[in-house]
Chain A
Amino acid sequence: MSNLRIPTMAELAAENREPEILFWVGCAGSFDSRAQKVTVAFCKILNAVGMDFAILGNEESCTGDPARRAGNEFAFQMQALQNIEVLNMYNIKKIVTTCPHCFNTLKNEYPELGGNYDVVHHTQLLQQLIDEGRIKMKEGGEFKGKRITYHDSCYMGRVNGVYEAPRKVLESLDGDLVEMKRCKSNGLCCGAGGAQMWKEDEPGDKRVNIERIEEALETGAKVVAANCPFCLTMMGDGLKAKEQQEEVMVYDLAELIVNNMEQEQ
């Protein structure tokens, strides 16, 4: 038994409490075995810094982003309106999420449907916690001097203009941060957005994730850092296709931080 605290909103409501922030886990974070590791890593960080948070648990539902981008507005709004009802019922003010797609939809698309929240992505929160000194990194962590490249997710980068927060978080690892040829506003998509995650690529010369992982490998980095569960899957699949999964690792920023921060005893 670990002493990890992961309360649900319902549990807190029963004690008449409201958390400081809601952790929106998302479908990938909840069900995808790779993304679940990120979810847990992030919860460990929140526990370590003593953040007062909660999750919705079974009351959370997909934000509807993939349906909306596929063109199924009906399915999107079914999700959105139900979620907004739940979020407003719990009087949610602030949300953090580990998924850029959830982030974008909650932040930019829910307001028009009656859901107004202060939404941050976990990389932004991590940066803030590092800046405030609430997260302290160990001296000589495992990534010290290691070559790391950061893959911008489209929905944090180009769509929401967040380029610096993830990079600042990575700097705290004291690694050797190298950029890919296409980065920041020129960053290349992993191939999963716009509901592509749920379908095969259209006919073409190669998969988008192969193109992107080739670019990442060109940098000679041993770690590819991502901030999106879908990028994580796509880049991981790309590495397997290139048979590089033993040499190069793909991690979410939360995973990189959790093992290299000082834990209070």
Chain B
Amino acid sequence: MLQQIAFILISGLAFYFAWRGFSRVRRNILLGQDEEISGDTGQRWRNVLLVAFGQNKMFKRWIPAVLHFIIYAAFVITQVELIEIFIDGASGEHRFFADKLGGFYTFVIGFIEVLSLLTFFATIIFLARRNLLKLPRFKKPEMKGWPSLDGNLILIFEIILLTGIFTMNGTDVVLQQMDPEHFKDTGTLAVSSWLGPALFGGMSEGTLIVLERVGWWLHFSMVLVFLNYLPYSKHLHILLAFPNTYYARLKPRGAMDNMPAITKEIKSMMDPDAAMEEVDMDEELPEFGANDVFTLSWKNIMDAYSCTECGRCTAVCPANITGKKLSPRKVMMDIRDRAEEVGINIESGHEQYAADKSQPVSKDNYDDGKSLFDYTTPEELHACTTCNACVEACPVLINPLEPILKMRRYEILTLSQGPQDWLPMFNSLESSGSAWAIPDDRDKWAKEARDA
């Protein structure tokens, strides 16, 4: 009875806190501007199926792809077991489905066990890869501190969880021999039927009963820990990969978002008959581009929350490869960090974060004296060649190029700053319609070729 009450209480609390955590993520994503999501729904579902479920972009690198797929499959399929855990936990039953499903139960639990064992080894390899192999993409400056710890914590949680599963099943198998009345026959489990006796064979019934409970609770509580950890971790990608691939842009990679306000202005300049609109001098100067989460789109912020910091984008970035400061992964991590900061400040309700002090602080009334430029510097933005390698590389269809270009727009159009080197090009475009200031006729080459 005590166990049931504890179970219900702990689950209830855990779900409440997890819901709060996920609500914060949702709120932070919605700090961004509306973005119209258009295009073929069929194509969107194909992306979800192939890229999120099928992980086809991971398979550019075979070894991590296979290991990752094992862990992922185990994660998804183990959730089936949770149904029984909840029924058992709330009702005080033991292995509710074992006798009802018979051979099918043996198959399902056995299948989960095989995946779990594979996952155990995959996790060990991933830990070794992160900490012993020292892959360059895991050792970039942006990975120092929390991001590195985060990556390791997830793997350690995974190992604890698996230890729980095998302790629970292994002791159960031994107990089934000792006390068949209380411990239902599960059939021959793929792993625990040999691992259980090997590990727990000589132990007393009392010890085994305690260990079985420890395993069960360890397994269950790690699930709750994971659930609550997700909103704060890079591991959130296991959930956000799905909406993120669904909402990924479908229009051609080469098409930058249009700015209709500018089109309108230029059209009125080009058409001499158009009446000049009255310019309201009191009106605030329009802001172009993005300097903060408020001027990015919600999809850009969802991208940031979907990032698991694998660094495939950074590993293929020509600027990063040649030692420049730009790292597309860092751009995405910066957006998430900034969204977190803004979210916490708004939640605090402190007047100091309000732009208009007479009104309460909110998404539309916010000024903490900082912006995204305090995270991502112009030097980083200026190094981008817009080659789209980062866009191509991302396994969950994050687009790091979009925020980079939006911030460049802010710098040039709103701040009138940017690399000095670009000024002659802009001036030449304006004066002669050519990217270089060359006084020749544009078709001088043709005359020369004809005369040759």
Contacts and interface: CB of A to CB of B under 8 A. Distances in A.
Contact of B422 (A30, A40, A70, A158): A70
A81 B270 contact: yes
Contacts of B388: 154, 158-159
Nearest to B386: A194
A104 interface: yes
Given A70-B412, A104-B254, A159-B253, A62 B318 contact: no
A82 B433 contact: yes
Given A61-B433, A208-B319, A109 B254 contact: yes
Interface in A227-249: none
B263 A113 contact: yes
A154 B252 CA distance: 14
Interface in B289-334: 289, 316, 318-319, 321-326
Contacts of A88: none
Interface string A197-235: 011111111111011100000000000000000000000
A27 B254 contact: no
A74 B322 contact: no
Interface stretch (A2-10, A126-134, A257-265): A2-10
Interface in A54-91: 55, 57-58, 60-62, 64, 66-75, 77-79, 81-82, 85
Interface string B60-97: 10000000000000000000000000000000000000
Interface residues of B, number: 69
B15 interface: no
B197 interface: no
Contact of B412 (A71, A77, A105): A71
Nearest to B253: A159
Listed residue (B255, B418, B435, B444) with the most chain A CB atoms within 10 angstroms of its CB: B435
B125 to A, nearest CB: 24
A199 B412 CA distance: 15
A211 B316 CA distance: 12
B258 A113 contact: yes
Contact of B252 (A29, A70, A85, A108): A108
Given A31-B440, A192-B385, A55 B435 contact: no
Interface of B: 60, 252-256, 258-259, 262-263, 265-267, 270, 288-289, 316, 318-319, 321-326, 379, 382-389, 391-392, 405, 407-413, 418-419, 421-422, 424-426, 429-430, 433-436, 438, 440-446, 449-452
Given A77-B266, A193-B386, A201-B324, 19 more contacts: A31-B442, A32-B436, A57-B442, A58-B443, A69-B256, A69-B386, A70-B422, A71-B412, A72-B413, A78-B430, A81-B267, A104-B254, A105-B254, A154-B385, A154-B386, A159-B254, A188-B389, A203-B325, A204-B325
